[in-house]
Amino acid sequence: MKSLRRMSRFLKPYKSKLIIAVLAIFLAAVLTAAAPSVEGLATSQLASDVLDIQKGVTGAHIQFDIIWKIIIVLLAMYILNAISRMTMQYLISDAIQSAVFDLRMSVKEKMTQLPVRYFDEHSAGDLMSRMTTDIEVMSNALQQSFSQVVMSVLSLVFAVIMMFVINWQMALIVSTIIPMTYFASKYIISKSQEMFEIQQASLGNLNSIVQEKFTGFNEIKLYNYQENAIEEFKEANSNLAENGCKANFISGLMSISVTMLTYIVIAVAVFIGAIKVSQGLLLVGSLQAFVRYIWQVNQPLTQLTQLAPTIQSSIAAIDRVFDYLDEENDIEDVDKPVRLEDFQGSVEFKNISFAYTDTPIIKDVSVEINPGEMVAIVGPTGAGKTTIINLLMRFYDVDEGAILVDGIDIRDMRRDDLRSLFGMVLQDTWLFSGKIKDNIAYGKPNASEQDIIEAAKRANVHHFITTLPNAYDMELNEESSNISNGEKQLITIARALLSDPKILILDEATSSVDTRLDAMIQEAMAELMKGRTTFIIA
C-alpha cells in the first residue's frame, strides 16, 4: 500500500482531470442505479393495465402513451450514461498515461544517478523487466482498475440504497453478500499476494535469461549449446507458469465465491418476493427491479474480485519499480569540492586497497605517475587491471588509501569534474543507433563537422566512412551490426580523439583491429599521447 500511496504523488498533478472523471463516474452510477426502478415502472404500468382489462374494468386499456414516455426517459438515461462513461474513460486514460510518463522519466533519471556497483550486482534482464514490463503491468492495471473500482463501489452503494427503498427486509438478506464477500476476499488475498510477488520475480528472471541468450546467440550456435539454452529457458518458463497458475487460481476463487453467494441470495429473494407479490405487498415491477439490483450488487463485487489478480500483480510490479527508485544514489559527499584550475596530469595511487566482496583484489598498492607518462597495466585476467581504472574514475571508491590527481584526493572532487578529465576506449565497443557523426561527437556534442572529420582522419577511419552509403550521415542500427567490430573500434577511438581528454585510458583498445590498422592507430595514438598521462591496459 505504501507503493500505491507513492504512485498517487505521480497522479497529483492531474487531479483536476481525475476529479472530473470521478464526477462523471458518479453520474453514471446514479443513472445505472435509477434505470431498474424506471424499468419497473413500465412493467408495473403494463401489468396493472392488463389486470384491469382482465377484470373487465370499464375503459380499461393499455396506456401506451405512459409506457412510451417511460421508454423515452430510459433512452435519455442510457445515452447520458454512455456519454458520462466515455468522458470518464478519456480523462482517466489521459491522466494515468501522463502519470506513467512521469514515472518512466523518473526511472530513466534514476539510472544516471545510481552507482556502477548497482548495475554490476543486478542482471540486465531483471533491470529491463523493472523498467519496462513492471511499469507496463502497473499502467494497464491502473487503466483498467481505477474507473472500475470507483464505479463498482458507487454502483454497490446505490444498488443497496434502492433495495432498501423497495423492501428493507429483503434488502437486509441481500446485504449479507457484502460482509461474506469481504471476509472471503481478505482471506484469499492474504494467501495469493505472496504468489503474485513470486510471479513478478520469476518474470524478471525469465527476461534476464532471454536477454542473455539474445546477447550470446552466436556463441550458443557456435558451441552447439542450443539444447542447453532451451532447457534453461524451459525451466524458467515453467517456473513462471507454475507460479502464475497458483497466483491466478487462488485469486480466481474470489469470483467463484461471490457468484455462488449471489445465486443463493437471488433464490431466497425471489421466493420471499413472490410471496409478497401474491399478498399484494409488493408490485411485480418492484420485484423485477429488486432482482436487477441484486445483480447490480453482484456485478461490482464480481468486477472487484476479477480485478484482484490484476491489482495484486500491479502491486507486486510497482513494489519492484519503487524498490529500484529507492536505491541509494551515487551522491556527491563533498561539501566544498575542489576543482583543478591548472591541470598538470600527475596521478598517484597511495597505499590503496580494494575488494568487491570479502576477497581483496588490490592490497596496499602505491604508484606515482608523472605528467605525460604512458603507463601499461599488464597482468592475467582477474588481476585487477580494469579495477584500477574503475577506482581512478570513481566508479568505485577505495577501501583504504587514496588516489591523487595533481596532489588532490579524487574524493574531494565532484565526480563529473573528475570524469571530464578522462577519455576512454574500451575493449567492448559501444555505439548507439544513429548517425556515425553523432557517435563520434558523443563526447563533444558541439563539435563542428570539420572537427569530426579531422578526428576520423587521425583515427584512420575517414576513408572507410566515406565509402559507406551517406558517409558520416549513415545510420547505425541498434546493435551497430551493419559495420564490423574493427570499424566500430575505430569510431570509438575517433570519439576519444575528438573529446581531447586530459588523461587517456585504453582498455585493450586495438584488440578488434587487424595488424595493418593496428600499426596505423599506434602511430595516431603516439601523436595523441604526447603531453598526456596515458593508461594502457594490455
- The DSSP bridge partners found for residue 353 are 400
Distance from CA of residue 349 to its chain's centroid?
Answer: 42
- The residue-averaged pLDDT of 251-278 equals 75
Q: What is the pLDDT of residue 359?
A: 77
Find out whether 491 and 436 touch, Cβ atoms under 8 Å.
Answer: yes
* 46 pLDDT more than 80: no
Alpha carbons 341 and 232: distance in angstroms, whole number = 55
Task: Report pLDDT digits (tens) over 168-216.
Answer: 777 777 777 777 777 777 777 777 767 777 777 787 777 777 777 766 6
Q: What is the pLDDT of residue 130?
A: 79
* 23 pLDDT more than 80: yes
Find out whether 92 and 147 touch, Cβ atoms under 8 Å.
Answer: yes
* 351 pLDDT more than 70: yes
Confidence of residue 38 (pLDDT cuts 50, 70, 90): confident
Confidence of residue 35 (pLDDT cuts 50, 70, 90): confident
Task: Report pLDDT digits (tens) over 291-336.
Answer: 777 777 777 777 776 676 677 677 778 888 888 888 777 766 667 7
Burial environment of residue 121 by CB neighbours within 10 A (0 to 12, 13 to 18, 19 or more): exposed
* 512 pLDDT more than 60: no
Length of the chain in residues, anyone? 538
Q: What is the pLDDT of residue 3?
A: 66
Burial environment of residue 59 by CB neighbours within 10 A (0 to 12, 13 to 18, 19 or more): exposed
* Residue 383: half-sphere exposure toward Cβ, Cα within 13 Å: 9
* 514 pLDDT more than 70: no
Confidence of residue 451 (pLDDT cuts 50, 70, 90): confident
* 83 pLDDT more than 80: yes
Confidence of residue 219 (pLDDT cuts 50, 70, 90): low
Confidence of residue 502 (pLDDT cuts 50, 70, 90): confident
* 517 pLDDT more than 70: no
Confidence of residue 484 (pLDDT cuts 50, 70, 90): confident
